[in-house]
Structure 1
């Protein structure tokens, strides 16, 4: 298991500190329960600084989803699995990395965009669209490898785009299930679900019997 670690350098500006605070608080307690006062306290900035950078809490939510997308996207873009010559290995390597990143409390490994959109998908179109861009952006990043794996293995009846969305559906669903569990078993349940996802792709791409990486 890879220990949870920051995807970004230490925040330096007031804006960065507020976005980092949003990541921590939204993961821990949700967007609706997070107040501007809490964000300012967590970030160590004044309310004046908050409204200098964000005209509203909704604007902060949109920016937090974009901030999350940029930082996690860069992390996964630099991951070692991209160096595997076989596209099937790259797909399985992505899932292995997602499994390895799960550990500790649910708020330590869950998704900011996935958490926010569950609350705000009807109340804020702007946040919904920012979260959609984040989650679907992660899906799109896997499409090229999935398309190559489909072609290499002669898989029919599906598309790379559909499979990439399925990957995100399982990941987001695993995070939700993890939140139903006591703290000491949340990560185990999430890893279990992604293990099933890996097994599905191993079967789909004719890699029956491969062990899940630990």
Structure 2
């Protein structure tokens, strides 16, 4: 969901180095194209060490999705979008923050679990489910602010806080796909601008009202 710091083979345990390597390489090459040799070389470990920690490449994929969820949770918990007192301002600040971290190479700002889910949803249900837990778990962190903002603004309708939280992730993951397809990060940032406008429309506010 974010773009964590690149792996550093000289730091941490062999397992951690392999997971950090997986974050970088899978986002750049895809899960199928990433080999055990690629991971071992990047992490500076032997194949024996790989199979000591992971029984298979698929097991590494599940662990990588779980590691991604753990590391990005801390990243987002510390992000500045939590600072505004008003819940709607926090939601809009979240969107602005997601736009702000679309920077660097395409692989660096794209989402590991989104990348893997698209590729292996049918071939590896265990990886798919681990990716789903990460994506839906992150979406759930937005629900309380959305529900409070609905209450504060008297918003009714046939949508829920849960559905809007999931929609934010739909836009973000789709934005990454468009950026890759067009080889242009600006396409992703453009999508986040539209998400901002959509949320303002749902809550019946003009752009200047929430600034």
Instruction: Give per-residue Cα distances to partners, 1:110-165, cap 9 Å, x unaligned.
Output: 00000001111011110010000010011101101111111111111111000000
SS at match of 1:147: helix
Alignment gaps of 5+ in structure 2: none
Alignment gaps of 5+ in structure 1: none
TM-score normalised by the chain length of structure 1: 0.91
Instruction: Give per-residue Cα distances to partners, 1:150-198, cap 9 Å, x unaligned.
Output: 111111111100000000000000000111123xxx2111000011001
In 2, the alpha carbon distance for the partners of 1:194 and 1:25 equals 26
Structure 1 residues 23 and 212, CA gap change in structure 2 (3 angstroms): farther
Number of positions where the alignment pairs a residue of Structure 1 with one of Structure 2: 207
Structure 1 residues 191 and 121, CA gap change in structure 2 (3 angstroms): same
> Post-superposition shift, 1:80?
2.0
Q: Superposition RMSD on alpha carbons, in Å? A: 1.9
1:179 aligned residue: 180
Equivalent of residue 208 in structure 1, options 186, 202, 206: 206
Is 1:17 paired with 2:14? no
Range moving further from structure 2, 5-14 or 137-146:
5-14
Which 4+ stretches in 1 moved above 6 angstroms?
7-10
SS at match of 2:108: helix
1:51 aligned residue: 51
> Post-superposition shift, 1:7?
8.3
**Are 2:89 and 2:210, in contact at CA under 8 Å, matched by a contact in 1?**
no
In 1, the alpha carbon distance for the partners of 2:193 and 2:91 equals 13
**Are 2:7 and 2:20, in contact at CA under 8 Å, matched by a contact in 1?**
no
